[in-house]
Each structure stands twice: as C-alpha cells, then as structure tokens.
Amino acid sequence: MRGQTLVEKILSRRLGRPVEAGEFVVAPVDLVLAHEGTAPLAIERFAALGRERPATGVLLFLDHAAPAPRAELANVQRRMRAFAAETGARLYGVGTGICHQIVAERWAAPGQIIVGADSHTCTAGALGAFATGMGSTDVGVAMAFGATWFRVPGTIRLDLTGRGSDGRGLPPSVTAKDVILHIIGLLGDDGAVYRALEFGGPVVEALDAEGRMTLCNMAVEAGAKTGLCASDGTILWFLEHMGRGGDFVPLVPDPDAPYERRLEVDLSGLSPLVAVPPAVDDVRPVEELVGLRIDQVLIGTCTNGRLSDLRLAAWIIAGRRVHPDVRLLVAPASRRVYTEALAEGLIEALVRAGATVLPPGCGPCVGVHLGVLGDGERCLSTQNRNFPGRMGNPRGEIYLASPATAAATAVAGELADPREFLA
C-alpha cells in the first residue's frame, strides 16, 4: 500500500478502507459544533430533515456574543438552551469560553472527524483530528445523519526548521503566531484552497500543543480545509493534563506520503511579524511598522487566548503600565484558561498594569460587542482576521500580531518590537 498523509490516515481509519486525496467519501462524524451565529440555522435544517434526536455528539456554544448585547441575541441563546434541553445536545453557556478552545480541552482527540459551523474548527487539527469548518446546513445534515460527504483533500506539507543544531529553536520573541503569519504570507490567502496543511519538522516537534493550535487555527486563512499536526508525546501529555489521557492514539504521516507540495521553511532568521489590513497575507516584519499609532490592543481569541499567550503578555506587561493612549483588552479563551491565569497571578498583573479583562469568549473579534472600533481607529490584535469591518466598523483597521508584539505595543502606546522588551 502506498504511504498516506495525516488526513488520508484519519479518514481511512474511520472508514475501514484506504482512501486517497481527490476521492469523494461519505464519512462518519464524531462531533459537530455550532455557536450563536450558526446554530439557529443548523437547528432549523436539522428539524426540516424530520429528525428529533441528533445522530452524533452535538456541542453548542454561547461564545460569540455572550453575555448577549441585544434582545435578538438573547432570544437566540434562549432557543439554543431549549434545543439542548430537548435533544441532549451539550451546551456551553455564557462565560465558559470559545468553542474551539473548549473542544480542544474536553473533546478533540487524535483520529476523530469533527465538523463545525465555524471556519476555525480546524484548530483541533493540532490534536491529530480531521476537523473542518462548514456552513450551518452542512452541520444540520451531519447532526441528522451522523455523517457527511467530503472530498479527501490533497496535502501541502510544511517542514519547519529553526535555529540550533537540532533546528528546533525560534529566534527571540518569535512565536507560533509569527510562524503561521509567515506561512500565510508565503502561500497567500488562497494558496491552500481545497487542501490540507500538514505542519511538521523540528520546530513543530518542539512546539507545545497550544502553539500547534495557533498554527492549525489559521490554516483557513491560507484557504485550507484544515491544518494538522502529528499526534505525538506532546499531545499525549496535553490530553493527560486535561484528564483525557485515554483518548490518545499515536498518528503520524508515512514518510513516503504523497504530498501535493512539500515546502521546507527556514525560520532561523524570522522577525516578529504583523499582518497589515485589509489582507491576512500582507505580512511584514515588525521593524517596518514600529511607531505606528495604535488605539486598541486585543489579546485573546481562538488564535492566541491560551495560558501560554497570557503568560507571555504578562511577562512583558507586569511591573509596567499600559500606555494611556491605548486600551488593552484581554479575553481568556476559556474559563479554564482564566482560572489558571488567576492562579498564576497573570490576571492580577495585567489588571494592575491597566488592562481590561473581558469574559472568556470571542470578545470583540467578530465585531458584535466589547470593543467595536471607532472611525479611523486602529487595533493591534492577536486574532486571525483583519478584514474591513471585522471588528464592527469598516472604517477601523486591524493589524494582526503575536501576544508578545501586542503586549509590547500596549506598553509603548504605539506599534512596538517585542524584542526590545524581551531581551
């Protein structure tokens, strides 16, 4: 038998026969998810199909606009609670966190097939799942039948090498976020459309599960169907830490897997990066943008709202002051992240320095509440998209960067190079 990519392996295991890129398959779905923005329509489609009980695990999240900023959305949340109570779907309510983070903490496991009515469902690929975003109707159909159709995607393999004799190190103040911004810059925002991105090489092997989630989260920003990493000892450790060690299955691609494209990326000379609006693939080294006026800084979201991100931010900000010309917003990705950050004193350090801490959830990322931009304002955010209007106002601008660059910027009061703060 020919070697297989990670995606082919996962789908073959679940189908009990070998599948190849390009093939159309109907595959079982282990888990579906939706949130306030997409669940009502998914529920409507599910009901239209005449089903009463979901045929697979259903997770519903109140994270995009929670607590509800308006009556319409409060009513959507009421309907979702009622549906969960009727059908046994699992609902994560206000303040529990962002869907992708909770899926990673409590549900996702290597080898699973996960379909979510949210484009960043691919985050779970970091744990060796085949996880992909779809629309509400697709999710409603998967809910009703416990299966859906896929075209097995071809794979672009990225072998990431850094510094040191083992090639595992990243340059100072360069994080997983900078790595994925660099890759999106290389591929372009449509460079991986219809394909899977497989991340490997020494740098990825050395990254913790959280860093790998940051990589996989933004696979969709290159147009990819999903992003994946091998499930190795790091993932076993992560699952054990989450009390789910029994969910671990080792999964690695075959050495002779037939990749559509294979790219070696040398990260040893990388600078911290910034994606300049209005495109995610307009990526520049931070030194080109130092001094740019910034009005708001957001640290959080499903890309960079995890414990390691808050640690990095607190490390830079603790003992300093948030500059009076900047609003610093911090949104932990989940209640778990929040409580762990509290226990470590990170939240206190950030608040004392002048940060505003938001409830666990999406915060202002999608422009519904908690930090909508004013006309002509600029935000430096650790989120994944900088499209016009994304933060609620097409006359505002969003720059994307790592938590380190965000924290440095909050202190400096203008776009700043984190290397000056993290010597």
Partner 1 sequence: MRRVIRGKVWRFGDGITTDHIIPGRYYHLRGDLAALTAHAMEDADPGFARAARPGDIVVAGKNFGQGSSREYAALVLVERGIQAVVAASFARIFFRNAINVGLLPVICDTDGIETGDVLEIDLGAGVVRDLTRGFTRDFAPLPRWMLRIVEDGGIVPHILARGGFGFAFTEGEGDGRV
Q: Which residues bind ligand SF4 (CB under 6 A)?
A: 64, 98, 100, 118, 120, 301-302, 362, 365-366, 383-384
Cβ-based nearer residue to partner 1, 134 or 350: 134
Q: Where are the alpha helices (DSSP H) in 321-402?
A: 335-343, 346-353
Residue 390, binding choice from ligand SF4, partner 1, none, Cβ under 5 to 8 Å by partner class: partner 1
What is the smallest separation between the CB atom of 16 and ligand SF4, expressed in angstroms?
A: 33
How far, in Å, CA of 320 to CA of 176, rounded?
A: 25
Residue 360, binding choice from ligand SF4, partner 1, none, Cβ under 5 to 8 Å by partner class: none
What is the smallest separation between the CB atom of 311 and partner 1, expressed in angstroms?
A: 29
Question: CA 158, 237, 161: angle at the middle one, nearest 5?
Answer: 25
Question: CA 106, 111, 115: angle at the middle one, nearest 5?
Answer: 65
How far, in Å, CA of 332 to CA of 340, rounded?
A: 10
DSSP letters spanning 152-205: PPPEEEEEEE-BSTTS-BPPTT--HHHHHHHHHHHH-TTTTTTSEEEEESHHHH
> Which secondary-structure segment (H or E) carries 330?
strand 327-331
How far, in Å, CA of 211 to CA of 189, rounded?
A: 21
How far, in Å, CA of 270 to CA of 362, rounded?
A: 29
How far, in Å, CA of 30 to CA of 110, rounded?
A: 11
Q: How many helices (H) and strands (E) does the chain have?
A: 14, 18
Binding-site ranges for partner 1 (CB under 8 A): 22-26, 37-38, 40-41, 45, 48-50, 64-65, 70, 72-73, 75-76, 116-119, 121, 133-138, 140-141, 144-145, 147, 149-151, 189-190, 193-194, 223, 225, 279, 366-368, 372, 385, 387-390, 392-394
Residue 382, binding choice from partner 1, ligand SF4, none, Cβ under 5 to 8 Å by partner class: none
Please check whether residue 302 is in contact with residue 385, taking contact to mean a CB–CB distance below 8 angstroms: no
Cβ-based nearer residue to partner 1, 137 or 268: 137
Residue 75, binding choice from partner 1, ligand SF4, none, Cβ under 5 to 8 Å by partner class: partner 1
Cβ-based nearer residue to ligand SF4, 161 or 383: 383
How far, in Å, CA of 41 to CA of 4, rounded?
A: 36
Write the CB contacts of 343 (distance below 8 Å, at least 6 apart in sequence).
none
Cβ-based nearer residue to ligand SF4, 100 or 182: 100
What is the smallest separation between the CB atom of 390 and ligand SF4, expressed in angstroms?
A: 9
Residue 362, binding choice from partner 1, ligand SF4, none, Cβ under 5 to 8 Å by partner class: ligand SF4
Residue 65, binding choice from ligand SF4, partner 1, none, Cβ under 5 to 8 Å by partner class: partner 1
Residue 88, binding choice from ligand SF4, partner 1, none, Cβ under 5 to 8 Å by partner class: none
What is the smallest separation between the CB atom of 363 and ligand SF4, expressed in angstroms?
A: 7
DSSP-based three-state secondary structure for 266: strand
Cβ-based nearer residue to partner 1, 345 or 388: 388
